[in-house]
Amino acid sequence: MSAVAVIVATPLIGAAVLALVPGHRLGARLNIGFSTVTLLASLVLFGLEPSSGALFVVDAFNIYLIALTAFVGLTTSVFSASYIAHEIAVGKLDERKLRFYHAMYQAFMFTMLLALSANNLGVMWVAVEGATLTTVLMVSLYRTAASIEAAWKYFILCGVGIALALFGTILMYMAAQPVMGPGMAAMTWTELMDHVAKISPAILNLAFVFLLIGYGTKVGLAPLHAWLPDAHAEGPTPISAVLSGLLLNVALYAVLRFKMLLAANGQAIAPGPLMIAMGLASLLLAGLMLYRRRDVKRFFAYSSIEHMGIITFAFGMGGPLANFAGLLHMAMHSLTKSAIFYAVGHAVQVTGTQRMDRISGLTVSHPALGWGLLAGVVAIAGLPPFGVFMSEFLLVTSTFAREPLLALPLVVGILVAFGALVLRVQQLCFGAPGGVEGGGASVEPVPVQGTLVPLYAHLALVLVAGVWLPGPLVAWFQTVAALLG
């Protein structure tokens, strides 16, 4: 349990320290340092037995998400260090804002790790709300009209969402209280899982609807997704990376915890159809929205919606294969999408524009970056040998074997999105090198010295996962898949 405490406390301390540290270089280094400690602590979890206490729980479900979050938190902090150095150099950010940014970064990591490891519905809700607030602040970091507008939209929509999620949480307690008596027990995951079979299903149903809509807003499910593309597009790119790579997962994790309760209850409505419907809606809508995008970050934000749709669909289908696929897809999407955002952030700095029609030929002008971006998009598009292929393989085959009619919209959606991804990635990565006024490297005002290590580290992991999964991970996935019903 102490390991979890370290994991959660480190970023909290980090936030406090970084709020006081002047100088962006030191701040960035400390940021990396705190993230490293968090990651190391989370790796310790692998050696420990699953455990649960009043405050924290570590089980097969969240252990890999905690490690994943810590890992992406670290790589993003590395990316962020090189990213902000350039932003400082071109004068888009200043020292004061960066101090705030680093503090918020750690605070954000804290809220997410807390949400993942909390054993209490209320604590989790508070953590998710905190995550919303910190990211709202970071999205508006540039203080441009567009970024404030995006932050405002994000804030209002997710504020309402989070309010509905709170109502769902209260309802959940209301449902459990008659069975489990008043007090903390009725708000504790592990206790609830033990007693949920006796809970009356009627309030449970109601609670789930509110939780699905509430946390679903944060997952970015259609038609609740409107905040997501703008928030991704207008904030600093490292934040886009963690939003897509981590925050969406955390919100989905919350939904899935409740789905587990419903599955264990047995009498409640099947949450599957609701999730399938919202998943498909997200997939199809996002797939179509990809076609008309001009802003590269917004484009990949829609791709995140698409993938969240696929994952939600997978959990909606249920069953060992689809659930396994969903869990794998969560991890793969998280790694891949953050890798893509690293590459995109770099490309945007190199070319000086976020408009896709002004970026081209990256594989020629910046081979390492261009091929990295290409590999990322190839991975997210579900092409082998990357991990997303495995999850989509499992999902499509198992769905078609069970519900052929549901597999068709799924496949259509994936293909529609695929078409858009190919269209754009070819344009970004191939052809004559473009950039600011098509000049390429010569007009670059400030040379960009970004690190591509995080990008390739993520890609390497996704590649390995595409052909080989470690045994313990498989075992965890299978345990959770069974629990998810």
Partner 1 sequence: MSDLGYDAAHMLGAVVLLMSFALLYQRRLFSLLNVFTMQALALTATAAWQAYSHGEPHLYITALLTLVLKAILIPVALHRIVVKMKIHRTIEPALGIGLTMVAGVSLVTLSILLVLPVTADATALTRENLALSLSVVLLGLLMMISRRNAVSQVVGFMSIENGLILAAVGVAGMPLVVEMSVAFSVMVAFIIFGIFLFHIRERFDTLDMQKIESFRGESD
Partner 2 sequence: MGLVVSAIAFLFAVAVAGAVARRLPQAPTVVYGGTAGACALIALWAAVRLAGGGPDAALVLPVGLPWIQAHLRADALSAVFLMVVNIGGITASLFGWGYERAHHDRHGGSHGGSHGGTQDGPVLPLYPLFLAGMNMVLIAADAFTFLLSWEFMSLASWLLVLSTHREPETPKAARLYIIMASFGTACLLLAFGVLATAHGDYSFAAIRAHAPAAGAAALVVVLILLGAGSKAGLVPLHVWLPLAHPAAPSHVSALMSGVMTKVAVYAMIRVLFDLLGEPEWWWGGVTMGFGALTAVMGVLYALMQDDVKRLLAYSTVENIGAIVIALGLALVFKAAHTPVIAALALAAALLHVVNHSLFKSLLFFAAGAMLTATGSRDLNRLGGLIHRMPTTAVLALIGAAAISALPPLNGFVGEWLLFQAILNAPALSAWSLKIEIAVVGAALALATALAGACFVRLYGIAFLGRPRSRAAGEAVEVGRAMRLGMAVPAVLCVVLGVLPTPLIRLFEPALRLLVEAGPFDGRAYQPWFWLAPTSAIGNSYNGLIMLVVIALLSVVLVLGIHRKASDRVRWSIPWGCGFDGPDPAAVTQYTASSFGQPIRRAFGSTVFRARDHVDMPAPGDTRPARLSVTWTDPAWVVVVEPPARAVGWLAEKANRLQFMTIRRYLTLMFLALVVLLVMVAVTQR
Q: Which is nearer to partner 1, 89 or 123 (CB)?
A: 123
Residue 155 within binding range of partner 1, rule CB under 8 A: yes
Tokens of 155: 């804030």
Among 382, 424, 416, 384, smallest CA distance to 297 is for 424
Question: 422 to 451, contacts with partner 2 by CB under 8 A?
Answer: 422-423, 426-427, 430-432
Residue 181 within binding range of partner 1, rule CB under 8 A: yes
Per the rule left: phi > 0, alpha: psi between -120 and 50, beta: everything else, 129 is: alpha
Residue 123 within binding range of partner 1, rule CB under 8 A: yes
Smallest separation, CB 450 to partner 1 (Å): 26
| Bridge partner list, 56 | 118
Residue 167 within binding range of partner 1, rule CB under 8 A: yes
Q: CB–CB of 31/109 below 8 Å?
A: no
Residue 163: Cβ within 10 Å count? 14
Q: Write the CA distances from 424 to 293, 355, 421, integer angstroms.
A: 9, 11, 5
Question: 403 to 422, contacts with partner 2 by CB under 8 A?
Answer: 404, 407, 411, 414-416, 418-419, 422
Smallest separation, CB 16 to partner 1 (Å): 18
Residue 129 within binding range of partner 1, rule CB under 8 A: yes
Window of 64-72, 155-163, 248-256, 317-325 that interacts with partner 1 by CB under 8 A: 155-163
Say if residue 223 is preceded by a cis peptide, omega within 30 of 0.
yes
Q: What is the dihedral of CA 375, 384, 80, 112, to 10 degrees?
A: 160
Q: Which does 424 bind (CB under 5 to 8 A by kind): partner 1, partner 2, none?
A: none
Q: Which of 153, 225, 337, 346 binds partner 1 (CB under 8 A)?
A: 153
Smallest separation, CB 87 to partner 1 (Å): 21
Q: CB–CB of 220/98 below 8 Å?
A: no
SS3 144: coil
Residue 436 within binding range of partner 1, rule CB under 8 A: no
- The 8-class DSSP code of residue 59 comes to -
Distance of alpha carbon 305 from alpha carbon 345, whole angstroms:
19
Residue 353 within binding range of partner 2, rule CB under 8 A: no
* Burial class of residue 444 in the structure, from the number of CB atoms within 10 Å of its CB (0-12 exposed, 13-18 middle, 19+ buried): middle
Residue 212 within binding range of partner 1, rule CB under 8 A: no
Distance of alpha carbon 353 from alpha carbon 362, whole angstroms:
13
CA 220, 222, 224, 229 torsion-angle sign: positive
Q: Which is nearer to partner 1, 231 or 325 (CB)?
A: 231
Q: Which does 414 bind (CB under 5 to 8 A by kind): partner 1, partner 2, none?
A: partner 2
Q: CB–CB of 230/142 below 8 Å?
A: no
Q: Which does 129 bind (CB under 5 to 8 A by kind): partner 1, partner 2, none?
A: partner 1
Smallest separation, CB 335 to partner 1 (Å): 27
Smallest separation, CB 328 to partner 2 (Å): 10
Q: Max alpha carbon distance in the chain (Å)?
A: 71
Residue 312 within binding range of partner 2, rule CB under 8 A: no
Question: 224 to 283, contacts with partner 2 by CB under 8 A?
Answer: 224, 226-227, 229, 269, 274, 278
Smallest separation, CB 227 to partner 1 (Å): 11
Window of 63-71, 172-180, 312-320, 440-448 that interacts with partner 1 by CB under 8 A: 172-180
Residue 460 within binding range of partner 2, rule CB under 8 A: no
Residue 141 within binding range of partner 1, rule CB under 8 A: no
Say if residue 367 is preceded by a cis peptide, omega within 30 of 0.
no
Smallest separation, CB 154 to partner 1 (Å): 11
Q: Which of 10, 75, 188, 217 binds partner 2 (CB under 8 A)?
A: 217
Residue 298 within binding range of partner 1, rule CB under 8 A: yes
Q: Which does 289 bind (CB under 5 to 8 A by kind): partner 2, partner 1, none?
A: partner 2
Distance of alpha carbon 57 from alpha carbon 118, whole angstroms:
6
Q: Which is nearer to partner 1, 55 or 482 (CB)?
A: 55
Phi, psi of 118 (to 5 degrees): -65, 140
Distance of alpha carbon 55 from alpha carbon 114, whole angstroms:
10
Residue 396 within binding range of partner 2, rule CB under 8 A: yes
Residue 200 within binding range of partner 1, rule CB under 8 A: yes
Cα 46 to the center of its chain, rounded Å: 22
- DSSP states of 433-474 as a string? --SGGG-GGGG-SS------HHHHHHHHHHHHHHH---HHHH
Residues that bind partner 1 (CB under 8 A): 120, 122-123, 125-126, 129-130, 132-133, 136, 143, 145-146, 148-150, 152-153, 155-156, 159-160, 162-164, 166-167, 170-171, 173-174, 177-179, 181-184, 186-187, 200, 202-203, 206, 229-230, 233, 293-295, 298
